[in-house]
Chains A and B, each alone.
Chain A
Amino acid sequence: MSRIYTIKDNLVENRLFLNRIAAAFITILLLTSGLVIRLIYLQIVGHEHYATLAKENSIKIEPLEPTRGIIYDRHGKILAENLPSYSLELIPEQISNMDDTLRRLQNLLAIPNEKIEQYHKQRIRQKRFTSTPLLISMSDEEVAKFAVVRPYFPGVDIHARLVRHYPYKDLASHVVGYVGRINEAELKTLPIAEYRGANHVGKIGIEGFYETELHGKAGYAEIETNVQARAINILNEVDTEPGANLYLTLDIDLQKTAYDALDTFNGAVVAIEIKTGGVLVFASRPGFDPNPFVVGITNNDYQALQASDNQPLYNRALRGLYPPGSSIKPFIALAGLEYNVISVQHRLFCPGYYQLPNASHRYRDWKKGGHGAVSLTEAITQSCDVYFYTLASMLGIDRIHSFLQQFGFGEKSGIDLVGERSGLLPSREWKRNQRNQSWYPGETVITGIGQGFLQISPLQLARATATLANKGNVVTPFLVDKIVRMNSIAPGPESHGKTIPLNPVNANNIIQGMINVVHSARGTAKGISKDIPYQIAGKTGTAQVFNIKQDAKYNEKDIEFKLRDHALFISFAPADDPKIAVAVIVENGGHGGSVAAPIAGKVIRQFLGDKK
């Protein structure tokens, strides 16, 4: 570059440069105006929008789970409570490698694969940054093991939670029920606002029926959080309202007596306080331990319960349907008196069998050779089948149907439990609708001794017995006596208050027959009347599991246990001032008098003994 060419015109350059300075300044001002326009757009036009977003960013609504109400029996004994328990919980968003973390936890604490799967299922439906339990009810050893290595597990922590506990385990499992983890179907029906912080919901029994009351009202806290969702500050807190405590009419000690008395048999015992309808005993054996259901029962254990021949998950007292057998006889007899078909004095001759006119089929009596001439009271006492075959034929199925219906057979009692079944009280109409067949006279005959189509649940039987003892004032059974909230006490369910118009004389005649069942020398349940200062009215029943062929001799030792008859017994006491009605069904128990009646006897003695 030679200097020869660098002849500069200072004036031209000067003007050019000053022009450029001016142009630059104008450009800068224009571009800056662009920034200002954008700022105005963000800070004035978009202000509200962005302010809302900023709030949502930093304020998190943390649901607070209410404490579940406690369930007591009538004497204040705890049937369901909340115990503190340690659980291992994970916050997925704070874990960088979930698979690795789970694998390490599995090695450390020997967690079964199933729990991992359960955890995955539950975590999917959680909101972001929600602590979700992997293990519930950790042992002290597990807690200690994890505590040592905790720094190596970011996002994993041990939390103290309240876990539902059922101290009586299998004893009252069906009636108290249990809570379990919320499943997909429940998630759709439950009010989402109340269950945001909840993992559990009542599934069956009282826990299920009174879910709303027991659950309480959820609260929430508005928490200011940072980007890691760590709480910085609590802005506002709406307290939870703890769930109501429930006081049942159930007497857990009486329940234990009944449950123990069933011993190795499968069966059900229902006892009702006649004056109120409060259920004292609601036992179904075998039961099951509900506690594993709370923490998440393993698939194997659940399959085992499901597959068991004894069906421990089956609530026999509520859902079990049995033919009532001879326990129906007092009601048939009362129908005979009420419809004036027979009189108390009228005697029928029992040759040991009954034949319909123009038919060859013989309906056999349980006593070979028959009872001879029996009155109505004697027929009840001795459980003469021929008497009731005859009476049923005379009444006809229509009258039997409409009379028994008043006692609650064939319909739900309305007890405060979910899953009750109505059983079956057959009628012409039913048979035509369901089977498209007409009613045969022979079917009326066997209905008279509680066989055939008739199907009743233990609860229905107890209810009907209580109504009979109550001289026709229909008893509505219920379990919850009081719903106790923080500052109020509400009663349990209302009773129907229906009354069957009965002639008290007729009722007393039936009751006399039932007293004789227990207290007379020829009574079928005379074994339980020893040394008691009051009278028990009862009726035994034996329900055939299968039909015995004509003329075949029935020998219970020869047949397989599962085919043995069900033993039934209905009773109430004291007979002159009834306080408690008890229905007992012992599956494959054989004779009502020898197996079922003593169980009712124990319950009555304990209850009335208490009362003295």
Chain B
Amino acid sequence: MKTETRREQLQPPSLLGNILRKLHIDIPLFIGLVFTSLLSFIILYSAGGQETGILLRQAARIGLAFVLMAVLAHIDPHQFKRYSTLLFNIGIFLLIAVLIMGQIGKGAQRWLDIGFFRFQPSEMIKITTPMMIAWYLAEHPLPPKSKQLFIASLLTIIPTLLIAKQPDLGTALLVASSGAGVLFFAGLSWRFILAIVAALSGMAPVLWHFMRGYQRDRVLTLLNPEADPLGRGYHIIQSKIAIGSGGIYGKGWLGSTQSELDFLPESSTDFVFAVFAEEFGLFGCLGLLSLYLLIIGRCLYIAARAQDTYSRLLAGSLAFTFFVYVFVNIGMVIGILPVVGVPLPLISYGGTSIVTLLAGFGILMSIHTHRTFLPN
């Protein structure tokens, strides 16, 4: 590690490199994100019925997210570490507040109305949970011992259950995997991982028992969408038709009949991948997956190059969670996973998820650009 640091030190900083360093922007990651955002505009224009309104709103949201990313990139990772506990506690407090307000009101309550804008505490929790666990595990030698494991699991399960109760299965899943991601990178023993996987599959009937009716339906629908083609299976059937009819080369941009003619519901939000696959075909899909893999790869590289345990664990978890986003969304749209509300990261329209995602990338950039070149 010392040699690497020295080599970087020896490199004469170019003018551009200097500027970017000052901006704390990681170029490869930045380029990947910009490309994905551009793809988002292209596909949303088609999926949203060629309206510019949807593009403007998406642009505003992405713009805001990029600004937030840049701001976070400027903050020293030590600050994140310092405030991890506080932010996590605030997040939990807000989640409970939302739940109580939901009880007072009626039905699902995810939003907190703070005067001029509405805020989703569950989005914040997506980042503060791995921060908290990374902070906790970094205080101890790795791999974590059973006591730390227990506490880390508790720190994961509490927000997960609070969100699942909202109910927001998608976000709960992402929060759970962010916590699990930290544990994995912290060196959770393989034996233990296998045991958890076995336990989870053993617990499936118990989980089934606790699922709500509509959640069960989603699982059943996945297993046999044709059983209820006009009802619950409709989403999956129509999305499979869209993807399959796209073929190898796709129907071309704006050529989607499934979404253009409104057969595919939620074509700009959670099911936007189906439109993408219909218009750009298998080649387009492979391209998009490669782009995602590049981003994830860069994130893992950043994690590998991080200089302290907290940064490594947090970066690794953020990278892993981003992949879970991609995998769960595409898996659901192509009909191998149940329908849970997870958007296609950076591409789906709307939601606050894009802001949270770019905030995560901001933290990653901060980690990468705040490395010190002299050992302390």
Which residues 295-340 in B have Cβ within 8 Å of A in the complex?
Answer: 296-297, 300, 303-304, 309, 312, 316, 319-320, 323, 327, 330-331, 334-336
Which A residues lie within 8 Å of B243 (CB)?
39, 42-43, 50
Cβ–Cβ contact B139 & A57, under 8 A: no
A338 to B246, CA, bound (A): 87
Cβ–Cβ contact B244 & A43, under 8 A: yes
Listed by A's residue number, 11 A-B pairs whose Cβ atoms lie within 8 Å are: A1-B139, A9-B141, A17-B185, A20-B187, A20-B316, A28-B320, A29-B293, A42-B334, A43-B243, A49-B244, A57-B257
Cβ–Cβ contact B241 & A54, under 8 A: yes
Residue of B nearest to A43 (CB): B282
Complex interface bits, A464-483 against B, C-beta within 8 A gives 1, otherwise 0 = 00000000000000000000
Residues of B within 8 A of A (CB): 1, 139-143, 184-185, 187, 238, 240-248, 257-258, 261-263, 277, 281-282, 285-286, 289, 293, 296-297, 300, 303-304, 309, 312, 316, 319-320, 323, 327, 330-331, 334-336
Residue of B nearest to A20 (CB): B185
Complex interface bits, A1-44 against B, C-beta within 8 A gives 1, otherwise 0 = 10001111100111011101100110011011011101110111
A270 to B251, CA, bound (A): 69
Cβ–Cβ contact B316 & A38, under 8 A: no
Select one of A5, A16, A57 contacting B142, CB under 8 A: A16
Does A232 make an interface contact (CB < 8 A)?
yes
Cβ–Cβ contact B285 & A39, under 8 A: yes
Which B residues lie within 8 Å of A32 (CB)?
289, 293, 327
Which B residues lie within 8 Å of A39 (CB)?
243, 277, 282, 285-286, 334
Complex interface bits, A40-58 against B, C-beta within 8 A gives 1, otherwise 0 = 1011101101110110011
Residue of A nearest to B306 (CB): A17
Which A residues lie within 8 Å of B240 (CB)?
42, 46, 50
Cβ–Cβ contact B184 & A24, under 8 A: yes
Given contacts A35-B327, A227-B262, contact A5 B140 (CB under 8 A): yes
A32 to B334, CA, bound (A): 13
Complex interface bits, A482-499 against B, C-beta within 8 A gives 1, otherwise 0 = 000000000000000000
Cβ–Cβ contact A20 & B184, under 8 A: yes
Residues of A within 8 A of B (CB): 1, 5-9, 12-14, 16-18, 20-21, 24-25, 28-29, 31-32, 34-36, 38-40, 42-44, 46-47, 49-51, 53-54, 57-58, 224-228, 232
- Chain A contact residues: over half helix, strand or loop, or mixed? helix
Which B residues lie within 8 Å of A28 (CB)?
293, 296, 320, 323
A128 to B300, CA, bound (A): 53
A25 to B258, CA, bound (A): 35
Which B residues lie within 8 Å of A18 (CB)?
304
A220 to B138, CA, bound (A): 73
A8 to B312, CA, bound (A): 15
Cβ–Cβ contact A57 & B327, under 8 A: no
Given contacts A28-B323, A43-B243, contact A6 B140 (CB under 8 A): yes
Known: A17-B185, A35-B289, A226-B262. 17 other contacts (CB 8 A): A12-B142, A16-B143, A16-B187, A21-B304, A24-B300, A25-B297, A39-B243, A39-B277, A42-B240, A42-B243, A42-B277, A43-B281, A43-B285, A47-B244, A47-B246, A51-B247, A58-B263
Which A residues lie within 8 Å of B185 (CB)?
17, 20-21, 24
Cβ–Cβ contact A225 & B304, under 8 A: no
Cβ–Cβ contact A51 & B244, under 8 A: yes
Nearest Cβ in chain B — how far from A39, in angstroms?
Answer: 5
Select one of B140, B184, B241, B261 contacting A227, CB under 8 A: B261
Residue of A nearest to B264 (CB): A227
Nearest Cβ in chain B — how far from A548, in angstroms?
Answer: 75
Cβ–Cβ contact A228 & B262, under 8 A: yes
A493 to B311, CA, bound (A): 98
Which A residues lie within 8 Å of B293 (CB)?
28-29, 32
Residue of A nearest to B185 (CB): A20
Select one of B141, B241, B261, B320 contacting A7, CB under 8 A: B141
Cβ–Cβ contact B327 & A31, under 8 A: yes
A36 to B285, CA, bound (A): 8
Nearest Cβ in chain B — how far from A59, in angstroms?
Answer: 9
Select one of B1, B244, B300 contacting A42, CB under 8 A: B244
Q: Which of B185, B187, B241, B336 has the most CB of A within 10 A?
A: B241
Select one of A14, A46, A227, A232 contacting B244, CB under 8 A: A46
Nearest Cβ in chain B — how far from A222, in angstroms?
Answer: 14
A1 to B285, CA, bound (A): 49
Select one of A1, A9, A21, A226 contacting B300, CB under 8 A: A21
Cβ–Cβ contact B312 & A17, under 8 A: yes
Residue of B nearest to A233 (CB): B261
Which A residues lie within 8 Å of B331 (CB)?
35
Residue of B nearest to A29 (CB): B293
Which B residues lie within 8 Å of A38 (CB)?
334-336
Cβ–Cβ contact B246 & A43, under 8 A: yes
Which B residues lie within 8 Å of A20 (CB)?
184-185, 187, 316
Q: Which of B140, B248, B261, B327 has the most CB of A within 10 A?
A: B261
Residue of B nearest to A12 (CB): B142
A14 to B143, CA, bound (A): 11
Residue of B nearest to A34 (CB): B336
A53 to B226, CA, bound (A): 13
Nearest Cβ in chain A — how far from B114, in angstroms?
Answer: 35
Nearest Cβ in chain A — how far from B185, in angstroms?
Answer: 5
Nearest Cβ in chain B — how far from A224, in angstroms?
Answer: 7
Cβ–Cβ contact A50 & B297, under 8 A: no
Cβ–Cβ contact B263 & A57, under 8 A: yes
Cβ–Cβ contact B244 & A50, under 8 A: yes
Residue of B nearest to A52 (CB): B245
A50 to B238, CA, bound (A): 9
A413 to B21, CA, bound (A): 107
Which A residues lie within 8 Å of B258 (CB)?
54, 57-58
Cβ–Cβ contact A47 & B247, under 8 A: yes
Which B residues lie within 8 Å of A24 (CB)?
184-185, 300, 316, 319-320
Residue of B nearest to A33 (CB): B289
Cβ–Cβ contact A8 & B141, under 8 A: yes
Which B residues lie within 8 Å of A16 (CB)?
142-143, 187
Nearest Cβ in chain B — how far from A152, in angstroms?
Answer: 24
Which A residues lie within 8 Å of B262 (CB)?
226-228
Residue of A nearest to B187 (CB): A16
Nearest Cβ in chain A — how far from B153, in angstroms?
Answer: 17
Residue of B nearest to A54 (CB): B245
Nearest Cβ in chain A — how far from B157, in angstroms?
Answer: 20
Residue of A nearest to B290 (CB): A32
Cβ–Cβ contact A43 & B316, under 8 A: no
Residue of A nearest to B317 (CB): A24
Q: Which of B1, B184, B263 has the most CB of A within 10 A?
A: B263
Which A residues lie within 8 Å of B242 (CB)?
50, 54
Nearest Cβ in chain B — how far from A329, in angstroms?
Answer: 75
A205 to B55, CA, bound (A): 66
A34 to B328, CA, bound (A): 12
A43 to B140, CA, bound (A): 49
Nearest Cβ in chain B — how far from A62, in angstroms?
Answer: 15
A225 to B257, CA, bound (A): 10
Cβ–Cβ contact B247 & A44, under 8 A: yes
Cβ–Cβ contact B248 & A43, under 8 A: yes
